[in-house]
Structure 1
Amino acid sequence: MSKMKYSLPGQAEDGAYAADRPLQAGQEYKFAAVRVTARQKQWSLARIAKLCAASTAVAVPAWPVLAQAEPVIGASAHLFTSSQVVGLSVVIGVISAALLSTLWLVRQRGNLENESREIRSALSDAQQRISQYEALIADKNRRIVIWDGGARPELLGQLPPETGAPQDNEFLAFGLWLKARSASELERAVGRLREQAESFDMVIETMRDEVIEAQGRVSGGRAFVRFVALNNLRAELAELKIERDRLMTSISAFQTMLDAIDMPAWQRDTAGRLTWVNHAYGDAVEAQSPQQAVNEGREILTTVARERIHASTTPESPFHDTISTVVRGNRTFFDVVDVKVPNGSAGLAVDVSDVEAVRAELERTLKSHAETLDHLATPVAIFDGDRRLQFYNQAFVSLWELDISFLESKPDNSELLERLRAAKKLPDQLNWKSWKETALSVYRSLDTQSDLWHLPNGQTLRVFATAHPQGGATWVFENLTEQVDLETRYNTLVKVQGETIDHLSEGVAVFGPDGRIRLSNPAFRALWGITETEAKPGTHIRGIGEACAPSYDQPDGWKTFAELITSFDDERRSSQGTLELLSGLVLDFAVIPLPNAQTMLTFVNMTDSVRAERALTEKNEALRKADELKNDFVQHVSYELRSPLTNIIGFTDLLRTPGVGPLNERQAEYIDHIATSSSVLLTLVNDILDLATVDAGIMRLNYAEIDLADLLDDVSMQIADRLHESGVSLEITAPAYLGSIVADPQRLKQILLKLLANAANFSPEGASIALDCRREGTDFVFSVRDRGPGISPDMIATVFDRFATGAKSGKRGGAGLGLSIVDSFVSLHNGEVSIDSEPGKGTTVTCRIPSINLPHSVAAE
């Protein structure tokens, strides 16, 4: 129910007038009316007291009059005695005071009756409004209880009968119609509301399982609680909230119970991550708290165990087995039960280490050895005294690709060899029986036997067979296939590398740590002009340097290479550089450390590239100087032309003034032509100067916030004369509020004026130019469309070029700089400009100007 307020003047407890009293407290208005009546009575008593004082004041002035009459009375003493005179004076004074007081009281009585009528009328209106508001508050779906400082509260409205809520004063006996939990929570909340002004919102349940929303608030010094009967979705939501509270209570009870037992318990999500653990779990993983164990993902079980549990557990068949793990550095066995649920899984572990220690000490040791061997990459098989297979690792299974069921049947060693021979996985033998007997003779031998098996699939195995003192044997199969392949490929690689190095165009030489050359290719010897004998393997680097001296006569030439190659520093340094031989060859060299403390020295002939680079550098420098000269010339000429043009325009305007003298019609026409031509020439000079500034990279934008509506008004005013001269009109289409943009106001205005002037120049007389403006995000997008002759497809690519004047249908010729300036200024704003035109259908130029966040200067590139 929304809160309404009503203002009724009445005196508050502090003597001021109260206003904006809450509508819910209907008794407040009656109380205010009584206060007004009491005030009226106090006021009447005060008036009466004033009347008495006034009568006394009227009687007092009579005494001077009597005093002045004393001589007269004394003169007539023979007629009256002194006592008679005094009595007469008193009687006259009292009669006068009574008459004046009576007249004043009659007037005040009339005023009091008028005020009483007004107060009764206001009280009647207030009671009528209170009745209306009480009717609005009364609702069968809600009830309001108001405490106004007294012990007896006021009840407004009612709740539906199906809720079981009493309609009389028993409503406040919450324990009679609410459930015990809801009643106790509500009574505590009401107590805090009345004593501490603490508001509350809660959902309570009645004895009939109906749901009610209770809201407690304090307003205007009064406490009130609103009870609202919920229905439909709100009731369902409240019931769900209550059911959730019940479930959370149950979950909390179970978690408390699990925290109290000395057995690690956990809960995981569907991805296998921990979501909850108990204190026993936290202690087992040495976490300061269960939450820390969850946050850090501390696992009590090994990865293999968790994967096994995840793979074998189903909703119908929980996992139950004994798992070994490490707790506080000690090997511990847990009897683990893990149950799969829709949102993950939950598990419990019971420590059975003591039982396992007594019962399976030997089994655990064997299992540990087996796990160690199972992680080896070398295939291993162990046979007992009866020559039956007792153990094999994963590498053994991968090597022979045998069925697990066959291996688990613990076959005899001879049977295993027969199976491998039948599968054609053993070496082909001329005498199979003799070969098998030799292989199985290990069981009768005291020494380890070793043999090489070349398998049909191309693998090479070194087989070790060792007999056990108590009987049995261990077979180890070392796979030498990769080693043999690597050796073969290495030899092949060495040959290929030698051939490759010999045919390289770059010179290559490899030196050992002793400074002696290991190999060199023909390109190395050709670049330095030495023979194969002078660079034969084993020659010291000093001898190589002496042989290369005629080609590179520098004191520190090969000495630097020798220091890098034979250095004893812990960190071997690489080096790069360029050197020029006496023959004119330019070589790029690189000193590259290699493994085994060897060093490779390479030389690349860069003569042609260097010569081309030098030529390009010289040409680029010449072009740069020419460009600088051109820019300086254009700027100088532009500035020099602008000064006399300004004088011409000024004198032309002066000649137009009446003070200089009258001009005939022809002189006035000539003056107009001079002014027009000077203005066009000044515009052209300014355009050339702007382009020169852009080319020189010194133009900077002066960013400021621009109101786009004001910008369009300014542009339309400045272009009006040009449009009138060309006989065309301008239509501006823009939304009601374009907003503002941060850009250079002067350059943005130039862009619009150039586009409109260009469109006016190519539009037929009487046509209309359209300027469409819009905002796309923070960008300002505008387009200028004319109905001119259009541009042919082969000319569109050159419209933004400077001095491009291919179109001859314009009213006024120009230098062809308008669109070029537009393109330059848009680019400076990091914007985009495009043109769309068809012959005979007109041209549309579209520009996009982005707005920047903070004002800053941007230099032209």
Structure 2
Amino acid sequence: MDLQGLYVAAISLLIGTVSLIVAIMLIRLWDRRRGPRVNARHLEPALHPMIFLFRDHRLIDATPPAQQLLHRIGTPDSEWSRLLRWIGPRFPDADLSALGASDRIEIEGATGTGSARLRLLAEDLGGGLLRITLTDPRADHAGIVVDSMSQQAMEEELDLLRRALDQTPMLVWRQDEQERITWANAAYLRQAETLAEGELSWPLPRLLDTPRPVPGAGTSTHRAPLDLGDNVSWYDCHSHQIDDQMMMFALPANAAVRAERSLREFVQTLTKTFADLPIGLAIFDRQRNLQLFNPALIDLTDLPTGFLTAQPTLFDFLDKLREMRMVPEPKDYRSWRRQMNELESAAAHGHHVETWSLPSGQTYRVTGRPHPDGAVAFLFEDITTEISLTRKFRSDLLLGAQVLNGIEDALAVFAPGGQMVLSNEAYDRMWGASCTSLSEAVTLWQERIAPGSGFAALTEALKADETPRQIRGAMSGPDGRLMGWTVSRIAGGRRMLQFHPTQLDRQDAAEPAATIACPDRTATGT
């Protein structure tokens, strides 16, 4: 190559170098105008380890992530208790008291699988110093960039859920397959602290004895008591299977237990009352099946206990009574069925009462009453004695009336208030009719007889507040003859007035005398 060629090559090399330098300068100038260059180290924040340093279970130092963790736990007890509460569910096999035999404990957590498991490293540094290191393998070599608004929304939702669970009155906890509690809400912790009477330790104690759920059965419910010493609280426990964990929800059930106990006691009281009633009771439901009866029903009807406990229908019950001859003897079965249908219909729509005269001579009162929800109740009462007493009382009244009507003297009885209690036929024949009160009787007497001193003495004796046991007198009768009267004081403040003929009239009794035609009346009484 000649000298001219070397010169051209040198010039070309120089021009290329200058061009490269100018290009680099222009690029840097362009970058300065666009903004400062982003350092790659700022793409993800520096990852600090989570390390706690304790001396005799008192926190003396911690890295920022460790301090944030203790702050998130947020319970008022010591940092050591808070850390153990957080470690317990995630590291169930962690026993930090074993550091006396070994200076170093390294455990993998229960959550996550493979390399994603949490790791705990506890080291005894001597002099009461204990260093605990928590490592999350997922964040060792990767920076996680999260949108700030999304992060804020998730934190707000998490705070809301945490507050809701901590303020709910029900107990909520989570347990693993070995029934160890791995998490609990604030209500559960408060109850546990009350029973522990001091600082809690992990694992938390089980407060309620809940049965192990059956696999594949889904949600199960169980009621369990919580003995608090001076009283017992009841909870309805609901279990939900979530992967290999079991979520438990215990709802307070004290009100329901008290209501059930009151209902049970009320039913027992009613049962005892029904058992002591002399009236037979049979309650049939809407389908007319026997649901309740008392022992008196068996005594009155002689029905077998096995038949009644089999819950027969109403018509089977009535047919059985017919077979036992415990119903009125019907003319035929068709009329019997029609009568029983009418009985059931009347009892279902309102109060219905029938009297059954049985072939055995007994008399039953059958009462049908409607009950709520379409049920109907029948009451069987033996009124044989009552009917016998009523009949005897009526017979005695009839006998007394016949005796009074057989007396020749006219009799009338007045109550203390002036009402006429009774009179006999002789009184009605004498005065034409009986009155309802003493004032009416006095008016009638005045119209039928001539005035005289005897009548005035009679009215005075009847109206006087205090009278002797017996007062006698005489006056003119309605036929103009002289007749005697007697006012006697009897039981209850009543006065009995008796009109009778005098001695002269008795001597002339053989002579016929005109009588006043009066309506035929029998003695009445109250």
Same fold judged by TM-score > 0.5?
no
Structure 2-normalised TM-score? 0.37
- Kindly indicate which of the two structures has a greater share of residues assigned to helix: 1
**Higher RCO (CA-CA < 8 Å; seq separation 6+):** 2
